[in-house]
Amino acid sequence: MHANTHHLEELESESIYVLREVAAQFEKTALLFSGGKDSIVVSYLARKAFWPAKIPFALMHIDTGHNFEETIVYRDEWVKKIDARLIVKYVQDSIDKGRVKEETGYNASRNLLQTVTLLDAIEELKLDACIGGARRDEEKARAKERFFSHRDEFGQWNPKNQRPELWDLFNGKKNIGEHFRVFPLSNWTELDVWQYIKDEEIPLPSIYFSHKRECLSRDGQLLAKSPFLKLKDNEKYEERIIRFRTIGDMSCTGAVESTASNIDEVIEEIAASRVTERGTRADDKRSEAAMEDRKKAGYF
Amino acid sequence: MISARKQLWKTVKKPVIFDCMKDSNGHKPLVPTTRGLLRFFTAGSVDDGKSTLIGRLLYDSKSIFEDQYEAIKRTSELRGEEQVNLALLTDGLRAEREQGITIDVAYRYFSTPRRKFIIADTPGHIQYTRNMVTGSSTANLAIIMIDARNGITEQTCRHTLITSLIGIRHIIVCINKMDLVGYKEEVFERIRSEYEKFSSKLEVVDVQFIPIAALTGDNVVDKSKNMPWYAGSTLLYLLENIHVASDENLIDCRFPVQYVIRPQSDEYHDYRGYAGKVAGGIFKKGDKVMALPSGTMSKIKAIDTYDGPIEEAYPGMSVTMLLEDDIDLSRGDMLVREHNQPKVEQDIDMMICWLNERKLVAGGKYLIKHSIQDAKCIVKDVQYKININTLHRIEDDKEVKLNDVARISIRTTKPLFFDSYRKNRRTGSMILIDEATNETVGAGMIL
């Protein structure tokens, strides 16, 4: 194994075990792929877990339509590289069908709407497990997630009635219509992910590294210029040297000013950073329990 | 659970030191050295200050980020609290913040230059004791919190019993809120001797005591100026340096087949790999192995991974075994050594911790998950329950309710391959699942 540190080898082994457990316990699984580094690492681990066979489930991208172009280019190349199958479901389709209503106003985002598209896809494809790249260190509601997280027939999470998860015995039993969310990276931290990406030489979308971009500074956030952003009268774009710490919907993923242009510099920057990566996400700032509420409703 | 493997790998791998790990301007770096991982859990009664202690460890080890700190500072001010309430860092769910208690297991991560830690912050309230069992099942070490004003409570006894049952060999007893008892040595010594009297009846190898004040940080990361009589280490120092003896069994070879890999491609036409995680012993290329339940013998042709074949596999490693002979193995089968086999039986005695409000039913049928095997069982007999305060057997009340610990006998629908829990945590543990609700209702440790 290539990993340089024991704790990364332990984490890798644990994640591979979890992924194999998913393939063995569930009928139809999808790996939720956003083009962000965490879902990239999960799909890479899936490649490892089943090699030399193909990954026995598809990658699924819930596309808000508000993407960074670099992410989509990367996504299509990556899927080929790991010899995987890709399903794309569009939030635009949910809007057209009248399933959801687009948010309006200056902070409008399609982030919340994704949940409906995701749950519709789960129902349509009869998925009984969705693998996600969420980590417990990201956010306080996520700190309480199980590896195998049960969802009722409405796709909802009930944090007060989670199944106890003991040893490495994962209980994936469910009734028809219910499903599981599975999080193989539960015990990884942001820094673990980056060190692993470095050790394994995993390619990443270019926007994770420093580049020049026109940005808007709003409420302490740096948002990338995009056709989806509505400017207020006194606002204007400025050119900044930035990179992204997380990748999501363009309208709510904030950039950080950074000159870190390669992986070593990124690791150095994170190690010295005093703000969490979700601190760059406008979607988490809506209220103190924003993530908990979205998770209960069926969010990633 | 990992330390043995860690030790073995140490000889193979060179630690990588990043430049950013260098300690400049007195800042503690966040990147851990490669000394490895320590998983521990915290337990205590309501209001013993567990969440505050964890908040303190995270804060003093500089693992709290500014935005997290700012958020809890704002909340503390809104609530009119004098100090920043560090418990808010771990009490993540809305109901917890409202009630000021920890409901569920929260996992926290922090690193110091010496070690990387995973903390399971487990609930103190009786209603959530099952989550303590969850949090402790993967831990090497337990921190048990005692409020210096209250001394040992029923919960302290219960938590210690579960810690011992779950096979944790190291306990650090933190006697907290010393500031509220005038930092008096007598209080500390009295609780300590009371605890020792109780715990001497249990199988706990290593118990250490620290007087702390989590709220102010005394003896957590920095030595307390208020308790000069205490000559021992701070909590963080102990956590960083404690030698966690190996929980892994490196003798008895056990490889449960988790998943069969058959690429069915031209390039790997004949590839048939048995993927799984080593549950005991050390497997080497060329070893003679026996497959259970068939008893068929074969030899390990290769131990494969994505990164290429390896010579040896240790407990906890996820690998793929290729055998010399074309024998038909499937999920749930196990590779072992011919002269060192696990028990293969249908009648099993075990200690069980009950995790559900629906009582255990003698004569009831449950689903089982044990290692990679699935089966059903019938509960034949409840032999006795344990009084968690006295550790005495209760033979006249055999109703096993939520949070009870009991010794039971089950019969399974097919033979399981198992070892005693004391010999191997991986092959000696099982969960019981209620067929009606699909919930995990019991945590079993095979005797």
CATH number of residue A63's parent domain: 3.40.50.620
Confidence of residue B318 (pLDDT cuts 50, 70, 90): very high
Cβ(A132)–Cβ(A298) below 8 Å: no
Q: Does A16 touch chain B (CB under 8 A)?
A: yes
Check residue B86 and give its pLDDT.
67
Cβ contact (<8 Å) for B317 and A13? yes
Residues B393 and B426 sit within 8 Å (Cβ to Cβ): no
Mean pLDDT of chain B: 84
Tally of CB atoms within 10 A around B206: 14
Is some CB atom of chain B closer than 8 A to the CB atom of A153? no
Tell me if chain B has a CB within 8 Å of the CB of A268.
yes
Residue ranges with strand state E in A122-185: 129-131, 148-151, 179-182
Is the domain of A180 the same as that of A222? no
Mutate to test the interface with B, among A48, A151, A169, A179 (most CBs of B within 10 A): A169
CB atoms within 10 A of CB B370: 25
Q: Where is mean pLDDT largest: A215-219, B5-9, B207-211, B388-392?
A: B207-211
The set of residues, in sequence order, having a beta carbon less than 8 Å from that of A45 and lying 6+ positions away, is A12, A15, A16, A19, A184
- Is the N-terminal amide bond of B293 cis, ω within 30° of 0? yes
Out of B68, B259, B264, the one facing A20 most closely (by C-beta) is B259
Please, where in chain B does CATH 3.40.50.300 lie? 3-241
With 0-12 / 13-18 / 19 or more C-beta atoms within 10 angstroms meaning exposed / middle / buried, residue A37 is: buried
Please give the Cα distance from B62 to A167 (Å, whole number).
30
| Range(s) of chain B covered by CATH 2.40.30.10 | 255-336, 343-446
At B258 the pLDDT is 98
Backbone angles phi, psi at B307, to 5 degrees: -85, 10
Q: Are residues A209 and A97 in the same domain?
A: no
Q: Does residue B344 sit at the A interface (CB-CB below 8 Å)?
A: no
The confidence score (pLDDT) of residue B99 equals 53
pLDDT at residue A3 above 90? no
Is residue A64 within 8 Å of residue A249, measured between CB atoms?
yes
Chain A residues with CB-CB distance to B310 below 8 A: 1
Closest of A20, A48, A283, A54 to residue A131, by C-alpha = A20
Residues of chain B found within 8 Å of residue A52, distances taken between Cβ atoms: 261, 263, 265, 267-268, 271
What's the pLDDT at A64? 87
Distance CA B185, CA B197 (A): 18
- Report how far residue B63's alpha carbon sits from residue B90's, in angstroms, rounded to the nearest whole number: 13
User: What local confidence, expressed as pLDDT, does residue B31 receive?
Assistant: 43
Q: Which tokens is B258 given? A: 């988790």
Residue of A nearest to B311 (CA): A1
Angstrom distance (rounded) from CA A143 to CA A166? 16
In a domain, A36, yes or no: yes
Q: Identify the band that residue A144 occupies on the pLDDT scale cut at 50, 70 and 90.
A: confident
* Cα separation values, B224 from A17, A68, B173, B234, Å: 44, 52, 17, 8
Residues A61 and A157 grouped into a single domain: yes
> Which CATH topology does B343-446 take?
Elongation Factor Tu (Ef-tu); domain 3 (2.40.30)
Are A187 and B118 inside 8 Å of each other by CB?
A: yes
Proportion of chain A above pLDDT 90, given as a percent: 52
Q: How many CB atoms lie within 10 A of CB B290?
A: 18
Report ipTM for this prediction.
0.89
Query: Which residue from A24, A54, A169 is facing B258, i.e. has the nearest CB?
Result: A24
Average pLDDT of the residues in A73-88 = 95
Do B123 and B105 touch, CB atoms closer than 8 A?
yes
- Helix or strand holding residue B209 (H, E): strand B206-211
Q: What is the per-residue pLDDT for B446?
A: 97
Determine the residue of chain A that is closest to B271 in CA distance.
A52
Superfamily of structural domain B255-336:
Translation factors (2.40.30.10)
Does the residue A18 lie in any domain? yes
The CA distance from B94 to A288, in Å, is 9
Of A9, A17, A167, the CB nearest to B137: A167
- A9 and B9 within 8 Å at the Cβ level: the answer is yes
Say whether B67 and A276 touch across the interface (CB within 8 A). yes
- B182-241 residues touching A, CB cutoff 8 A: none
Mean pLDDT (whole number) for A247-269 = 86
Pair A79, A171 in one domain: yes
Which candidate from B5, B16, B109 shows the least CB-CB separation from A5?
B16
Residue A160 dihedral angles phi and psi, to the nearest 5° = -85, -10
Q: Does A24 touch chain B (CB under 8 A)?
A: yes
The boundaries of the domain holding residue A161 are 6-193+289-297
**Tokens encoding B57:** 């460890």
User: φ, ψ for residue A177 (rounded to 5)?
Assistant: 95, -20
Would A198 be classed as within a structural domain? no
Given a cut of 90, is residue A171 above it in pLDDT? yes
Evaluate if residue B438 carries a pLDDT over 90: yes
Can you give the pLDDT at residue A66? 85
Q: Give the B window 262-291 contacts with A, CB below 8 Å.
A: 262-265, 267-268, 271, 275-277
Which of A115, A123, A58 has its CA nearest to residue A88? A58
Side chain identity at B301, as an amino acid letter? K
Task: Give yes or no: residues A184 and A213 share one domain.
Answer: no
Judgement on whether residues A176 and A211 belong to the same structural domain of the protein: no
pLDDT at position A50 over 60: yes
> What's the rounded Cα separation, in Å, for the pair B56 and B50?
10
Check: CB of residue A12 under 8 Å from CB of residue A196. yes
By the 10 Å C-beta count (0-12 exposed, 13-18 middle, 19+ buried), B317 is classed as: buried
pLDDT of B25 above 50: no
**Predicted confidence (pLDDT) at residue B439 exceeds the cutoff of 50:** yes
Same domain, A250 and A181: no
Average pLDDT of chain A, as a whole number: 86
Per mean pLDDT, which of A6-15, A43-52, A183-192, B139-148 is the most reliable?
A43-52
Q: How far is B115 from chain A (nearest CA, A)?
A: 10
Residue that wins the pLDDT comparison between A17 and A297? A17
Q: B9: pLDDT confidence band, cut at 50, 70 and 90?
A: very low
Mean pLDDT of B387-400: 85
Residue at B377: amino acid letter: C
Question: Percent of chain B at pLDDT above 70?
Answer: 83
The pLDDT of residue B391 is 77
Subunit contact A166:B31, Cβ cutoff 8 A? no
Task: Say if residue A228 is in the same domain as residue A171.
Answer: no
Task: Report residue B403 as tokens.
Answer: 């949070």
pLDDT at residue B30 is higher than 60: no
Q: What is the pLDDT of residue A96?
A: 87
Mean pLDDT score, A223-228: 85
Region B117-127 average pLDDT: 76
Sorted by sequence, the CB contacts under 8 Å of residue A149 that are 6+ apart come out as: A157, A162, A180, A181, A182, A183
Is residue A215 located within the same domain as residue A181?
Answer: no
Where does the pLDDT of residue B161 fall: very low under 50, low under 70, confident under 90, or very high at 90 and above? confident
**B122 interfacial to chain A (CB closer than 8 Å):** no
Q: Which two tokens stand for residue B21?
A: 């790990």
Q: How many CA atoms lie less than 13 Å away from B375 in the CB half-sphere?
A: 21
Q: How confident is the model at residue B370 (pLDDT cuts 50, 70, 90)?
A: very high
Provide the domain count of chain A. Answer: 2
What is the distance between the terminal CA atoms of chain B, rounded to a whole angstrom? 19
**Closest CB from B259, B305, B433 relative to A173:** B433
Could you tell me the two tokens for B232? 């021992």
Quote the pLDDT of residue A99. Answer: 85
Segment B250-264 shows an average pLDDT of 95
Distance from CA of A264 to the nearest CA of B (A): 9
Residue B51 has pLDDT above 80, yes or no: no
A89 and A220 fall within a common domain: no
Left, alpha or beta for B438 (phi > 0: left; psi -120 to 50: alpha)? left
B72-111 pLDDT, tens digit per residue, is 777 777 777 767 676 666 655 555 555 554 557 778 888 8
Q: Which CATH superfamily is domain B3-241 in?
A: P-loop containing nucleotide triphosphate hydrolases (3.40.50.300)
Among A95-109, B136-150, B336-350, B403-417, the range scoring the smallest mean pLDDT is A95-109
